[in-house]
Every structure is written in C-alpha cells, then in structure tokens.
Amino acid sequence: MNIISKISKIVPIIMLAFIFLACSNDDDNTPAPMQSNIVELASATADLSSLVAALQAADGDLVSVLSGAGPFTVLAPSNAAFQALLDSNPAWNTIADIDTAVLSQVLLNHVISGSVTSSDLTAGGAGYARTNASGAGGANLSIFYDTSNGVRFNNVSSVTTPDVEAPNGVVHLVDAVIGLPNIVDHAVANPDLSELVGALTAGGNTTFTDLLATPGDFTVFAPVNSAFTGFTNPNGNDINDILSNHVIVGASALLTGLSNAYLNTAATNGDGDALSIYINTDDGVTLNGTSNVAAADIVATNGIIHAVDAVIDLPSVVTFATADPTFGTLVTALTRADLTFDYVTTLSSEGPFTVFAPINEAFTDLLTELGVESLGDIDEPTLKATLDHHAVAGLNVRAEDLTDAFTVPTLGGDITANVTGGATLTDANDRVSNIIATNVQAINGVIHAIDKVVLPPLE
C-alpha cells in the first residue's frame, strides 16, 4: 500500500561535496552556501534566525546535537512559521515564553536521523518516517509525508526550499512549525484514513475525536479507506460501537509488543463489560481472524496506530472460537455434519451465552480417556450431550460471578463451579476441569477456556 509505505525503504544518497545555490546576493531569505554543519548553515541564513534562537533556548543542547556528525535531515521552519506559532497562543510573545522541554520536543519533531532528499521523498510517494521526538511508550514520533502536491509533512507544513546540503545532513526549509501529533492529527493527515475520520465525526459527533485527542494511552487499529468501502455491516451493529471495538484504552503497543493474546477494547456489551479482541501473530498480525495489520507503528504522542485492511465487527462467541486456533478441535466438534443441533447458528444469535471452551489438548486427552482414536468414533448422541454441557443460555457469567459450589445450569444439565484454590468445574462424574483463561467477552456472551472436556453422566 503506497500511501503507508515506510521511509525506512529510502536509500540514502551519497552526499555532495559542494552545493551552489542559484540566487541573488541581496536575498536575505536565501540559505547561505554550505557551512561546516547544519547549525552554522542556519545561523548564516537570515530567515532561520528564529529557528536558531529556538535551538539555543530548548532543553537538550540541540545546538551541539545538530552540530554533530549526523547525518540529519532537518525540516527548518522559517521566521514567519515561528511567528505563526507564537500567534497561536496568547501566552506566547517570544520563543522564551515557550516551555523549554516542550520546545525541545517540537524541534526534535523536525529532525529525522539520516540524510533524506526531496527526490527520496518523491520516490516514496507518501508514508511515514520517524523523527527524534519522543512519542507514546518512549518510541520516536512518526511524521507523515505526502508528495502528491509538493512535499508536505503531517498535512500542515510544506517544503519551500529543498535539499540545502551540509556535511552532516540536509535541510529542507518549511513554511509551518510541525506540532507534536496526537492520534487524531495522524488520522486527519493521512488521506487513506479519511473514511475513518468521516466515520468518527459523522453527524457532528466528536466523542471519539475528543477521546483520542486526550493525553491518554491508546492503541488504535485504524481501517483504511478500502476497508470501509468493503464493509457492509452485516449484523447491523451501531457504527460507534464498531469504532470503539478498534480502540484499546490504557495501553500503547508497538507491533513487536503484540503476541497471541486477548485484550479489552473500548466497546462494551449490554452489561457494560468491555469486549475482547483476539490478536494472532502467527503470520503477521490478525485481529479476530478477519482483519490484518497493513501498516504498523504509527507513533503519536498519546498512542500508536496500526492501519488495518478490514473493519473489525463486534465479535460473537463463535468469532473467537473460530479465530483462536486453541479452540480448533472444539470448532470441529461443534460443526460435525451429523449433529442434530446447529451450535454455530445458535451461538451466533443474540444470547447471552456462557461457554466453557475446552482447548485442543483437552480433546486429545478425552480421546485417550474414552479409548477412541478420533472425534468421529464418538456417537452423535454422546457428542451432542457432551457439547451441551459446555454452554449456558441466557447468562453472561464472568469469572467474578463464580463462587464455591456455584451451580452452572448448562444446556445438558447442572455442573458445579468452585473458586477456592483456583477456578474449576466438576461434572456429574466428579471429573474436574480447570478454568485456565477467563472473560473472553463477546457481544453475545463470554468464553472461559478449560483444560478438560466436561462429560455428561456416564452409565
């Protein structure tokens, strides 16, 4: 996907020994001929005097940093750009009025490690680079570049004079100071997320934009435009609930920090319980078995965006059973052709349901226990009665609802839950199953994983 291609793919050019600028000698806004480093070049350029003053005032001794070996790519705001920044805040009359720590981060957001020319950017078309500013989780902030109409950064600043070279890097003069982007800023800047922005703000609704602009810590799975185009909302779910299901509140995770796991999203069921989302990293990153991360690690100040190729609808208990390979044998059992009950259709309905889901190893152990070689060796009445003992209709029983001697009214009959010493289920044959994972919350019920298949009464 070209619009979200990585700047890391750009091949640095061999730096030139000298550069000649075609200009008149009396143009005060023209960068001076190549100096010994980027800071000296800026100091010799009249229209970058505010930038030099900012570098001197900011925390982190940025003058020394940008005088170092580099190479650096510096997006250098003009004096007029800094004046516009000051005019945007009534409390700022001069650069000295800006908090020095904030000023340092803003300036570092104009610095990219490595030498990147305008031709490199044009070759990339559009995508993301990492600046030297700090974003969520300490990761470097992302910056979006788009060369479809000149060269623009985060859709707020355009290059006015490109490719002013110095021995320790390259400078591009820009016409606006580039602020520190939050998640909403990144979404608005990237035209391939315009459908998402439209959905977030439909009907004048600012609930999501207000939330995702706060200083909180978020992970957002952002559907690209083609994902919205291809989404038909087959279950008729509320779009705000669907959008909530793409947001994880309270945690920002880079792609390398994701693993096979369930996390809670901002979406909830009718009882207010946070819905789960299943992340599978066996082959790329897949969400609930339907949506893949197409571009990862877009870092904002308040979280991280991963662009995804499909809208993630609200999950049913069947969604999780089919998405999680841990339950592969259970799905095989539930969909056996000779069953006289349609479990998939039932467990996809409104519910609520509570499902105690045996993991694959539980079924392997069951076959040994019964002395058979495969599920096909279990007759239909026995298999149906067994499966019935793993589902409760009409109740969304979360782990915190269980107590000792709690009667669980399954479709096949009562079993008993206990929590002292660890949550367990005891069937009519006094066989004990351990509940090894809890509260996988779907829109129509909840799943708890167990390590032993519950059996109906055996004669």
pLDDT in tens, 34-72: 557 999 999 999 999 999 999 999 999 999 999 999 999
**Per-residue model confidence as pLDDT tens digits over 270-302:** 999 999 999 999 999 999 999 999 999 999 999
What percentage of residues in the chain have a pLDDT greater than 70?
A: 92
pLDDT at 411 over 50: yes
Q: Where are the beta strands (DSSP E) in 117-208?
A: 126-134, 140-146, 152-153, 157-166, 169-174
Residue 25: predicted pLDDT: 36
CATH 2.30.180.10 describes domain 2-180: yes
- Whether omega for the bond prior to residue 71 falls within 30 degrees of 0, making it cis, is yes
Homologous superfamily, domain 185-315: FAS1 domain (2.30.180.10)
Question: Do residues 407 and 425 lie in contact, with contact meaning Cβ atoms separated by under 8 Å?
Answer: no
Residue 159: predicted pLDDT: 97
Q: Which of 370, 362, 416 is nearest to 389 (CA)?
A: 416
Task: Give the three-class secondary structure for 311.
Answer: coil
Q: Indicate the angle between helix axes 79-87 and 49-57, nearest 10 degrees.
A: 60
Confidence band for 24, pLDDT divided at 50, 70 and 90:
very low
Find where tokens 């000149």 sit: 150
**Per-residue model confidence as pLDDT tens digits over 151-197:** 999 999 999 999 999 999 999 999 999 999 999 999 999 999 999 99
6 vs 282 pLDDT, higher one: 282
Pairwise CA distance, residues 54 & 48, whole Å? 10
pLDDT at 216 over 90: no
CA pseudo-torsion sign 349, 352, 358, 360 = positive
Give the list of residues 6+ apart from residue 77 with CB closer than 8 angstroms, or none.
Answer: 50, 51, 85, 110, 157, 173, 174, 175, 176, 177, 178
* pLDDT mean across residues, the chain: 91
Residue 13: predicted pLDDT: 27
What pTM does this model have?
Answer: 0.88
Confidence band for 2, pLDDT divided at 50, 70 and 90:
very low
Cα 167 from chain centre: 38
Chosen CATH of 318-450 out of 2.60.40.790, 2.30.180.10, 3.90.226.10, 2.40.50.1040? 2.30.180.10
**Per-residue model confidence as pLDDT tens digits over 92-151:** 999 999 999 999 999 999 999 999 999 999 998 999 999 999 999 999 999 999 999 999
Residue 221: predicted pLDDT: 97
pLDDT at 7 over 60: no
Mean pLDDT, rounded, for 381-402 = 97
Give me the amino acid identity at 74: V
Helices (H), 109-175: 118-124
Helices (H), 193-316: 194-200, 207-212, 225-229, 239-244
Mean pLDDT, rounded, for 328-352 = 96
Pairwise CA distance, residues 447 & 289, whole Å? 16
Residue 409: predicted pLDDT: 97
pLDDT at 404 over 80: yes
Residue 207: predicted pLDDT: 83
CA pseudo-torsion sign 441, 444, 446, 447 = negative
Mean pLDDT, rounded, for 450-457 = 97
pLDDT at 27 over 60: no
Considering the chain, tell me which residue range(s) the CATH 2.30.180.10 domain(s) occupy.
2-180, 185-315, 318-450
Residue 10: predicted pLDDT: 32
Integer CA distances (angstroms), 88 to 84, 156, 177, in order? 6, 14, 11
Helices (H), 376-423: 380-388
pLDDT at 8 over 90: no
Residue 5: predicted pLDDT: 40
Mean pLDDT, rounded, for 371-387 = 95
Confidence band for 29, pLDDT divided at 50, 70 and 90:
low
Q: What spatial distance separates the first Cα and last Cα of the chain, rounded to whole Å?
A: 61
Confidence band for 458, pLDDT divided at 50, 70 and 90:
confident
What percentage of residues in the chain have a pLDDT greater than 90?
A: 87
pLDDT at 3 over 80: no
Residue 26: predicted pLDDT: 38
